[in-house]
Amino acid sequence: MQSFNKKTGRYIGRYKNYDVYSNEIVRISEENKEDINKKLPGEITFNYGPSAGGLEESVNFNIITPGERINSVRVDSSFKRRNIKILNDSVDSALLKVERINGYHSASNSICFLLAVENALNIENGESNNKRIIEIELERIRSNLHVIKCLAESAGFSIPEKQLSYLIEDVSRIISTVFKHRYFFGANYINDVNGNFNNLNESILKIKNEFMVIYQDLLTSKIFMDRLQENGTVRDMNSTGPAARASGYNYDARLDSSSLYYESYKIFTGSSGDVFSRFMVRSDEVFSSIELIENTEIKENESKNKYDLNKSGTGYARIESPQGDLFYHVDIKDGRINDILMVSPSYLNIKLFEKAMPGNIFTDFFFVWESFGIWISEKEVNFI
């Protein structure tokens, strides 16, 4: 890591002038200009967003269409760009800001940031490893349920949508019970997780059973399947998370990153690379995350360690957030953040969406968009 020269390993994404690979960070001369597709006769530009019904976050879609079919789409996420003042902050202060980058993926961001800091300050991720895994897997369950809920909503399936919303609320309440906050705020610290894991397994089993019923019902709906199958197909080696696994790539930071140690994890992959395949991978991962939580042993810290954070160093961490590889690189100088680099999986997922959409028609748009579980808030972070 940190060679800034060669491209080795798989591509994780980009932050400002840096391309991040699983084994290297490569500085690029300047951010590549987005290539604008030339319009053919008869085609028009249809603009959707940045603030419009059906969109959870501010994002603009520049769609080129000859009518009905979408021939090209460019995602402009810059409307959500946020300058987050973090440089020269202490680790404690920076952590408060990082865990609020995206509430839905707060655990992933906080843990990945802390792992990078620990890596920089030579602090071993020991007793908290399993607790952190539980946090991330709980977050993954909620995030995947959210994506599936959005797919049901796109299909106009109000009943499963409401059932899934209810289930998401249940998961949030479990998180709130265990970590004292439904978005994990204040739960994480250097090599420490503040949580009460008693009765977690019983609660999570209930989620498993309830989701199984909804999942089976959705699979028996031919209408739902028709909307998902052969829709938004994409296969690209530069992909990440469930989208990559749905296309047959066994990319998973739980397997190929040492930042967090997973004792045993069985990867799920699809082959078709369409919305249905992404739906299947996410659903399977809901069950596998529940299994991981059930099988992860929790050892309570006997004593709270005190770490000296007023040191200097450079470190990185990469974890499998619900939507794919999340990467943090920090440079700490005398306990203060000197430089920070973050790559969200939404960067690659947006690229994949842009590749998946051409050839599909307008009514497929929301299925394809929702299937990637993109969070613009994560992608458009500018640390200053």
Partner 1 sequence: MNIIYYLPLILIFVSVIISIKYRNWGYILSAVSSIIFIAFTYRTFDYITYFYLIAGIVWTITSIYSLSYGKNYGKWLAPLFILTIAGMMTILYANNFLVFIAGWEIMSIPAYLTVAINKKNDIEAYVFMFFSEISTVLIMVSAVLSYYYTGTFGFNKINNDYVLLIFTLGAMSKMGLTPFMISEWLPIAHGSAPANSSAIFSATMTLMGVYGITKLALLSPVSEVIGILFIAIGIISVMFGSLYAYISENMKSLGGFSTIENNGTLLSALGLYIAINDGIFRAFVLISILIFAMSHSIAKTGLFLTIGNTGTEYFSGISDNKGLLARMGKFFILSSLSGLFPGIGGLGTWMILESFFMGAFIQGAIGISSIIGGSLLAMGEGFATAAMFKVYYFTDNHSKKNNKNNLETYTIFSTGVMLVFLFSISFLLIGKEYISGIPNVLIFNGFMIESRFGPADFGLLSPIYVVLITLFFTLLAYLVFGKPKTRTVKRWNTGIENNETYNSFTYSSNIRLMLKKILKTNSGKSDLETVDIFWYFMIRIASSYRKLTKYISYKIMNSSISTYMIYMIIAFISIIVIVSLY
Give contact residues for partner 1 (rule: CB under 8 A).
40-47, 49-52, 60, 65-69, 71, 358-359, 361
| CA distance linking residue 20 with residue 10, whole number of Å | 9
Between 67 and 248, CB nearer to partner 1? 67
Contact of 295 with 264, CB cutoff 8 Å: yes
3-state DSSP assignment of residue 140: helix
| Angstrom distances, CA of residue 329 to CA of 15, 109, 301, 315, 338 | 11, 12, 27, 6, 11
Q: How far is the CB of 108 from partner 1 (least distance, A)?
A: 31
Instruction: Give me the least distance between CB of 56 and partner 1, in Å please.
Output: 15
Nearest CB to partner 1, comparing residues 182 and 355 = 355
Let me know: does 318 contact 326? Beta carbons within 8 Å: yes
Instruction: Compute, in degrees rounded to 10, the torsion defined by CA atoms 224, 230, 236, 238.
Output: -10
Between residues 344 and 360, which has the closer beta carbon with respect to partner 1? 360
CA 209 to CA 200: how far, in whole Å? 15
- β pairing state of 192-193 and 336-343: unpaired
Closer to partner 1 at the Cβ: 105 or 227? Answer: 227
Closest approach of Cβ 357 to partner 1, in Å?
11
For the CB of residue 327, give the shortest distance to partner 1 in the complex, in Å. Answer: 32
CB 235 to partner 1: min, Å: 16
- Other C-beta atoms closer than 10 Å to the C-beta of 353 total 23
Which residue's CB is nearer to partner 1, number 28 or number 361? 361
d(C-alpha 37, C-alpha 358), whole Å: 12
For partner 1, the closer CB: 65 or 346: 65
Assigned token pair, 19: 């391309």
Name the minimum Å distance from CB 69 to partner 1: 6
Cβ 232 to partner 1, closest distance in Å? Answer: 15
User: What count of Cα atoms within 13 Å lies in the side-chain half-sphere of residue 325?
Assistant: 33
Q: Which is nearer to partner 1, 248 or 359 (CB)?
A: 359
Name the residue nearer to partner 1 (CB basis): 46 or 268: 46
Which lies closer to partner 1 via its Cβ, residue 66 or residue 126? 66
- What is the phi-psi region of residue 230: left when phi exceeds 0, alpha when psi lies from -120 to 50, beta otherwise? left
Helix (H) or strand (E) holding 282: helix 275-295
Which one, 41 or 297, has the nearer CB to partner 1? 41
DSSP state of 190: T
* Shortest CB 74 distance to partner 1, Å: 12
What stretch of H or E contains 213? helix 200-220
Cβ 364 vs Cβ 69: under 8 Å: no
Instruction: Give the shortest CB-382-to-partner 1 separation in angstroms.
Output: 21
8 three-state secondary structure: coil
Considering the complex, what minimum distance in angstroms separates the CB of residue 79 from partner 1? 9
Computed on alpha carbons and rounded to an integer, the radius of gyration of the chain in Å comes to 21
Cα separation, 167 vs 174, whole angstroms: 11
